[in-house]
Structure 1
Amino acid sequence: MDKMVKKIIVLVLFVSGYHSHAQSHRTLHKTMNVEEEKVMQVITKMTTAFHNKDIDGIMTTYDSSAMVVFEPERPISDKRELKETFLGAFAINPKFTYSGHEIYVTGDSAVHLAPWTMLGTAPDGTKIEQSGLSIAVLRKQEDGSWLMIFDNPHGQYLMDKK
């Protein structure tokens, strides 16, 4: 079997693996160092706040200049618009699970990658299921904490685009 086929099989097995809650911290690394743990805590805090419909908790995980891509090719940076979009998403009671986490830290920058699945219910009762690849970039703050500066839950978009 050639290397490319093996890589594809590994990727498919990874993406289709068992789903875990954000709090499980399962990563492709055997253990996380202190900075990777801090990054994971931001992701967990944001996901928990989202599940609890805690808009203030969500917003505290983002830098003041953060950009979020709620829809492919449509990034939002305006804080008011970010809040409104998150508040609108609460209407479907979305619950996110992740099948794993990859975290890479270099200096004051970090990248978090995570395949996700979202289950929700539209106001009319229609079940909604979506999945994707989350790509978040975080920056270390002067106090040693981390905040997201870029959040794209549709990192797979270019691969899916036909």
Structure 2
Amino acid sequence: MTSTTFKRLFCLAALLLGTQSIHAQSHSSQETQIMEQNQIHATIETNNAAVAAGDLEGVLATFEPNGVLVGQPGMIAKGTPALREAFSQFIAINPKISITNHDVIQADDIAIHSSTWKMTGLAPDGSTIEQSGFSVVVLRKQPDGRWLMVIDNPFADHLLRKG
């Protein structure tokens, strides 16, 4: 084998190994991204389950301490005491929330979870409350790896409803 042929084979082998390495890194990166997106969605599901169970502390555990909730368009609750008050009132209607579709967009330690949702609950007079909408939640990855909500806007489609 000539030295030129050997060099060509060596370069081809290096190229193929490099391509496999890049593919393996890409695959690993995709797996990590899917795991992160699942963790982000799990935070939302944990929040919804805590709301349904009437577990106020569980709800608050899904938020950063200075987190923000849009309780209704134009009504903002910021920080743990305000979130506690807002969710206490919401839990009183015994809400059951289901996410019908969702998407996650992530940039490093910040993520946006958007979803369509439906909610049923009971008014004080016993009548059924039904709502649905489009939610946008901003989450931040914590130093311990958990994802917590920074902003929760379950009424992100309110501008569309104004017409």
Q: TM class by shorter-chain length?
A: 0.7 to 0.9
Correspondence list, 1:105-124, <5 A: 105-124=106-125
What is the alpha-carbon distance in structure 2 between the residues aligned to residue 93 and residue 57 of structure 1? 15
Deviation readout 1:65-103 (Å, 9 max, x if unpaired): 111100102211032121111111122111111111101
Which one has the bigger helix percentage? 2
What is the alpha-carbon distance in structure 2 between the residues aligned to residue 143 and residue 94 of structure 1? 30
Moved segments of 4+, more than 4 Å: none
Identity of aligned residues (%): 37
Using the size of structure 1 for normalisation, the TM-score is 0.77
Q: Which runs of 5+ in 2 are unaligned?
A: 1-32
Confirm whether residue 101 of structure 1 aligns to residue 114 of structure 2.
no
For residue 92 of structure 2, give the secondary structure of its aligned residue in structure 1.
helix
Larger Rg: 2
Higher RCO (CA-CA < 8 Å; seq separation 6+): 1
Give me the CA root mean square deviation: 1.1
Aligned length: 131
Using the size of structure 2 for normalisation, the TM-score is 0.77
What is the alpha-carbon distance in structure 2 between the residues aligned to residue 79 and residue 142 of structure 1? 20
The residue number in structure 2 matching 1:131 is 132
